[in-house]
A and B are shown apart, each in its own frame.
Chain A
Amino acid sequence: MVKKTLIPIGPYHPLQEEPELFKLYCEGEIVKDIKWETGYNHRGIEQLSEKKTYDQSFFLVERICGICSTSHPFAFANAVEEICNIEITNRAKYIRTIIAELERVHSHLLWVGLAGHFLGYNTVFMWAWKYREPVLDLFEMISGNRNSYAMFKVGGVRRDIENNKIPQILDVLSLVKKKTDMLVGAVMDDPVIHARTKGVGILTKQDIIDFAAVGPTARASGVAIDVRKDDPYAAYPLVNWKVITAQAGDVFAKAEVRLLEMYESISIIEQCLEGLKKEKEGEINVKVKDIPEGWGTGHAEAPRGEVFHYVLSDGSNSPARHKIRAPSYTNIATFKKSCIGQTISDATISLAAVDPCYCCTERMAVAYDSKTGNKIMNGNELIALSAQKTQNIKNQI
């Protein structure tokens, strides 16, 4: 019998930014099974949100994840605006879209850098992070902070992007575009990167559907799923752009999708800036009197996939229930497919390829069988069920 080795990665490992624990069960050098443990990052955000007012909740949901700090407020704003049934002004729509797309640019650059780091290609890491800085400077100029922007509120945005700032934004975008060309050239034509990423961590179209993966992970396997196209919100229906897909489903395809998406994002921002010039400055707000009773759902396409927020309002000034579903939650499950059968050295990049974000992910979930609709039970519930049966038999005797 072949001996199985357990290799733990984490919870505090130099490879990872965030705390999580992976257990790789290996035979020789081949990964046979993988398990993961999270919970090191659990902060009880849904419960905290119920204690805060709608205005305060925006600052909280922004801090679910530092890198998706637009997507969560975006989805939350969509949900609350659905309850109030209000339409925001065009200028606010453009500003929201610009912030969301700038975030996608910096998040994808960050991923390309980290992927390069995981492959032992530190030049790519340094380049990508160097050219991410001008984007963060833009954020600082627009919102006053490099990472958490606090731009969203119910009924619009908190700050305007004045028309005199537009040339500066365009300058930075053209710089980023030029540097993206360079990065694409460096990544796409490099024989070493081809050898390390092609055919590694393959997810087929069926795997994506089975695991309900979203975002660039799904698009790299030929599933053209994108909330911005499927259920357009904000200014996305007002601009021209296309959903980027690739067919191979390996790590290289995921890198390709992300790099090409950056061009689309830059083009969206340029069109939004054009649109911004036509709208009157300062019209960024619709007055909201109160939040009526009811419920609303909102989603937004984060750099990693679909972010979904459900808000239940009881007519008071804070949400009665707030449910959040982040993209990494489903994407992480694809590790069961992508890592098994790989060597340990390839497992790292397969894990990194979905751009997992554990601070988004930490939450409770109950699984239902899609065919029968029955609840799939966990260990404790099975024990409780067993105890119940013993009790029933005792009562009968």
Chain B
Amino acid sequence: MRVVNQPIRKKDAMSLVTGKPVYTGDMVDKNALVVKLLHSPHANAMIQEIETSVAMKVPGIEAIFTYKDVPQKRFTMAGQTYPEPSPYDRLIMDQHIRYNGDIVAIVAGENEKAVNKAMKLIKVKYDVLPAVLDFRTAKDNETLVHPEENWVANCPVGADNKRNLCAHEVSGHGDIDAVMADCDIVMERTYHTKANSQAMMETFRTYTYMDTYGRLNILSATQIVFHIRRIVAQALDIPKSKVRVTKPRIGGGFGAKQTSVTEVYPAFVTWKTGKPAYLVYSREETQTCGCPRHEMELTVKIGAMKDGRIRGLEVYTLSNTGAYGEHGPTTVGLSGHKPIPLYNKYQEAHRFSYDVVYTNVQAAGAYRGYGATQGIFAVETIVNELAAELKMDPVALRELNIVREGQVMPAYYGETCNSCALDRCLAATAERIKWNEKYPCKDMGNGKIRSVGVAMSMQGSSISNCDVGGATIKLNDDGFYALHIGAADMGTGCDTVLAQMAAEVMECDVDNIIVYGADTDISPYDSGSYASSTTYLTGNAVADACTKLRESLQKIGASIMGCSVEETGFDGKKVYRLEAVEGEKNEVSLVDIATASMVNNYYETQFTSMVSSPVSPPPFMVGMAEVEIDTETGDIKVLNYEATVDCGTPINPNLARVQTEGGIGQGIGMALYEDITYGADGAIAENSFMQYKIPTRQDVGRIHVEFEASYEPSQHFGAKSIGEVVINTPSPAIAHAVYKATGVWFRELPITPEKILKGLQEKNK
């Protein structure tokens, strides 16, 4: 392929590296009202009284809103296709405060100083209630997080607010109990992962203003413009036709911006006052009032034979959705449906069950990996524990059991695996890290031990039978094309990747395609950039729209040449007769076609395609970590990380590589540093980058990534997703390496030096 599979520079690269003002915060009218939110200091409370009249007297204060001022229709902030699986459990503000940080008042004023002063003058009397802070005690607790009668679950997800249940399900195939009873070895272990923050460098922020037509315009750092339009319209109880949402460049998303964290508040201010308004979350708010990964406790049972054949897997997940149910019923599904199919070969049965519970802590949301990350940590670790128990090489154990191309995967909704290079990924990674030499560990003789660990991963490519990818391609003067998309480039490079696909079909240079997105007034509908959907699904929409445009260009060319369209071809620069006829016009340039399309024209030169997919083909990955542990201090360093990815055809190998390196970097943070702990009042201790340590460039070792391409037949270019699959291997691979160095399994993340030292001390007792 000419343009696809090439390491092309991102279209916006030079603007970004030279610091151009292209983000939400760079585009705010200096006269916009400064909006800030007053947060609750209690985890569970009813507001008895709230007094704002003194605060309103501060010079420069425009408005203060409380729960008394907002519409009473419940909604969810989860950016999902309607009807959302996430329950409608929110109001813009509620008299019932449900976590330490919940929103008590919206303050809008001319400047920050005035707003800060007014915030201090708001007097609130709380009736403080007992709070559910431990998610293991949430189900059927007498304290209800959502006792209200107008709580609504739109989809049958097993939710029951009178039991603190946001979702519940049991699924499976085969007779798991009989298979387990027949296995040579059955192991059961419990694992615990934390509510990690996405920690994108640009915190949540939204700018709102009224336009010429009296419509509410929302410029926001969001991955989901169309969902934001619906969410805001519902929250404000106004027609969707009154709302327009656009996104400029986004300073990172990782799923955080798949939830409407900040949009409704300035939108409410602008709708009420008619004035432009801007809300930017501080890092502290982003850490404590955002939408982190769901904390999960996973109990895994594995049944195998002495020769290593894995015959049964059982996963029970307890997921903590926090005070509100955003993405609660859906993230949990991936904790079973993504790891279990990896061991498909001899799998006769599986059972996957879960409870998603409400508690009085920060509501969770979508974070890269979306439940798969947690499930893969648990299942990959128990497979490594099984290998230790069987005294088998964990790479050999995997080679024996992994899913292969052509297999039906009962634990993956019965889908057939039509593209899979997982076996090649495993072999290539083992060879590069020199697994056979380094496994299990090497005593360096100075109190330090080096060891290696392994893990695999799969994800999906879009939500099958749900997501919609949309693309519009338009011919312009001189023969350049405009590609309009509703997907959101959040730094991932989808503007460029989709332009590469368009250029491939149109047989032109990628510079001949201009890209615009995303704007709810202009862009074709697209679910948005999440669920690893854009390259795979929106990519198919681009290819389809471009194919239609090609056909139409040939029709115009044929009409100019006076022949039938069947007699013509198109090579990107001209429409020509397949067989030249002497004395006749034998070709028409693209420029002439573009010009002709603007004079007395009867042909379409703009096409939109909308596509969905009945399948969600999994990309695969293998990661191997080499770590060094200081047995005197428990200090752990990642030295090397080798990874091999099967994302089908990498559309842009550079961007796919950086996605992978970045995902591994985040995964290393999850494995070793990033913790979330709560005080007795439900407040999060790790509320800044001072306490919530994300990896620096000195913490990630050397990451090395290669690709083993398969070809996914359901995608125009054979591509699968890349964005999420890449975050899942570090936690289990590092936990495995730590075991090899210390002889101790760490089943709770993060694996800090303190835990390692304590583990070593207990083992040596």
A joins B in a complex: no
- Partner-A contacts on B (CB < 8 A): none
